[in-house]
Structure 1
Amino acid sequence: MIVLLPRLIGHSRTQCAQVRAKASRAGPVNILMLGATGHGKSSLGNFLLHPDLRYIFEEDGCRQPFRVGDDRLSCTASCSIKDSPDGQVRIMDTPGLNESHERDLHHMINVVKTARQLHHVHAVILAMKMDSRMDQTYKDTIQYYYKLLGDEVFKTNSNLILVLTDYRPKDRKYKKDPELLGRIVSQSADDVQKELELPVAPFTVPINSVPQDEDELKQSRGPRDQILDLAVRNMAPAVLQTLQVPKTEGVQRRHGKEAARLQGIIAEKEETKKQLLKLPDPVKMQARLLEDEMKTFDTERKNLRAGIEALDKEELCKVAEVHGGNSPHRHHGGRVLSG
C-alpha cells in the first residue's frame, strides 16, 4: 500500500529536469489522462504542461491548453493532445463518461485514433478529487478505458499513477488530524487496486493543480515533478499504434437482447409442446375424431371427383356435337363444360 510517492532519491529539482530533458531527446514523455467528469483531469493536465499562475488564470495572453469546466459540466467533449512549451511532455486528455452517448462507437473511434497519435504512453494518470470516494460513475469510467486500452497500458508496461486533485495542504482538517492525509491516500489507492485487480496499489500523489498564489504554486511543483519523474523512468512504454476499436457495449447489449428474445421464443414453444403432451385423454380423443372426420370428407371429395371423371365419356361429347355443332364443348345451364 503506497501512501505518498517520494522524490527520487538523490535527485534535486534541477537534476529531475535534466533527466526529463535527456529523455526528451528520444521523444516527449507521453501521458494519458483518465477520470470521471468533474475530477480535475483537464486542470491537472494544464498544470503539468504549464506550472505558471499566468496560465492558471489566463493572464498576459496565456491560455490554458485544455478547456476547463465546473464540477457539474465537462468541457472535454473529445480527446485532444497538447505539448509543453519545451516539447518534453505530451498529454492526451479524455472525456469523462457521465453520459451514455459518450460510450458509443464514435467516442471509441475518437479515443483510439487520438491514442495512436501518441504512438506509445509512458504513464496513465487516474485523476480523482481528494475528498471523493470511487463511486459507480468513476468505476464505469476506468473500466471502460481499461477494456478499451487493455492490460498492456494499465498493468504491463505503463506506470499507473493515481493523482488526488484539489488537495489543499493548508486546510485545517489536515492540521487537526495529521493522519487524515495518509488514510485518504491509502484508501484511494486500495480502491483502485481492487477495482482494476492490480497486483500492487498504484503510486498515489496528492496535488493542488490550481494553486492560487506563489506559495501554493511552490508547494505544487514538487508533486508535479514527482509525477513527471515517474513517467520518465518507464523504460518500456506501452505501444498504442496497434489499438483496435472493440465492439461497443451498445452493440453487445443489442445482440444480447436479440439472443434473449429468441431464447424466450424457443422456451415458450418447448413449454407449449410439453403442455400438449400433457393433454387429458378426452381432449386427445376429440382431436383424433376431428382428424378422422377430415379424412372422411377428403375421401368423399376424392370419390366425387372420380365419379365426375367417369361420366365424362365420348358419348357425351357426341351429344354435345348434335346440339352445339362441331364445338368440342357442350353447354349446360349457361356454363361451358369441357368435353
Structure 2
Amino acid sequence: MTPLGPVTRTRAPAAPPPGRRVVLAALAGVALGAAGCSGRTAPAGHPRQGAPTQGSPSHSGSPSPSPGLPHTTPWRPTSAEVQPAAKLRAVQLVEAIGTWAAGHSGAEAARARVAALGLPTGLVGQAGPLLPMTDAAALQVVDAQYGGILSRSASVLVVCRQWTRRGGKVSAGGTTVDVRLSRAGADWTVDALHPAEPGPAARSLASGVRTVLSDDRIVLPPAAVADLRSGQVHTSVAGAMLALARTYRLEVSVVRSGHPLDVFGTSRPSDHPRGRAFDVWRIDGHAVVDPATSRGLIERFMRDAADAGSYNVGGPVLLSGGGPGQFFSDATHHDHVHIGFRT
C-alpha cells in the first residue's frame, strides 16, 4: 500500500455518547473476546485458549465462559492508537455478534446485542462466519489494525479466533472482518462488515507454503492460515516470512482475505487481495503500535523485509534509503508493518 488519499463517504447517524454506550453494553451482557467461525475441531473440554491481546483488556464484567469453551477477555485499544474510538466501535460489534451463551444464539439474539450498542441491527445480516449455527460461542479478538484511517472514514480489520459448541463438540476457528466505519461529530458508527473469504483449500501447496504453516516462529490467525491453504498466496510471501522468521518471531495479522480490495480512500488495487502482501502486528512479542517497542527493532525488521524482496514496506517509522518508494509511513501503518511484493 501507499500513502492514502481523500475519500468521500456518506455520513451515518451519530452513535450514542460514550458513557451511554458503556451502560448499554453492560446491560446487554455483550460477550467479549474473539474469533470468527467454526473450523478445526478440538477435544471437548480442551479448547485452545485465545492469544494475548495488544490492547488493555479489562476483566471486570467479563461473562463466565460457557461449559467447554475458553474464558475470553475484551480487546480494548490503548491511548497510543491514532483513533482508538474507531477501533473500539469495530471490536465491540464483532465481540457482540460472535459470542453468546447457550440459549442466546441466532440472528434475533445477535440483533438485540447489536442494538444495545446503538448500531444498525442490519449489520447482523452481514456477519457471515461470525454467526454459525451453534449452541454457544466464545470469541477472542487477537488484534485490530487499520485497513485505512481518514478523518471521517475508516477500515478496521478485526482479527479473531472463535470457539463454538454444538452438542458436546467444541470446534476452534476464526476469521478476520473488515469493519467499515464513518464519523459524525466525535462519534464513529459502523456502516458495513466484510468478513474474510479465503476460499477452499488447494489440493497441493508449494513446499515453502507448507513450511510456513508448520513454522512456530510464524504465528498466523485463522483467516491467514486459510489464505495460505487456498494456494492463492504468492511464494514470494512465503519466502519472505521464512527469511524473517530466521531472525524474528513474527505475528501476522492479515495476508490476503479480510483486507480492502483497494488501498483505502483510492481506486488503486491493494497487493493483499492478490496474495502479494502480508502484515505483521507484533515482532518478538512487542506490538508495533506500543510506544515502548524499540524503534530500532521496527526499523531493523522493515529493512530486513526489504532485503527479503519486498518493494513496498510500510510502518510507523519512515526510513531513508532503499529504492524509489520502497519505504513509507502514514497513519494507517502506525499499528503494523506492511510487506508487499510485485509478484
The structure, 1 or 2, with the larger RCO (C-alpha pairs under 8 Å, 6+ apart) is 1
- Quick check: which one's strand share is greater? 2
**Alignment TM-score > 0.5, same fold:** no
TM (norm. structure 1) is: 0.24
Flag the structure with larger Rg: 1
Kindly indicate which of the two structures has a greater share of residues assigned to helix. 1
- What is the TM-score of this pair, normalised by structure 2? 0.23
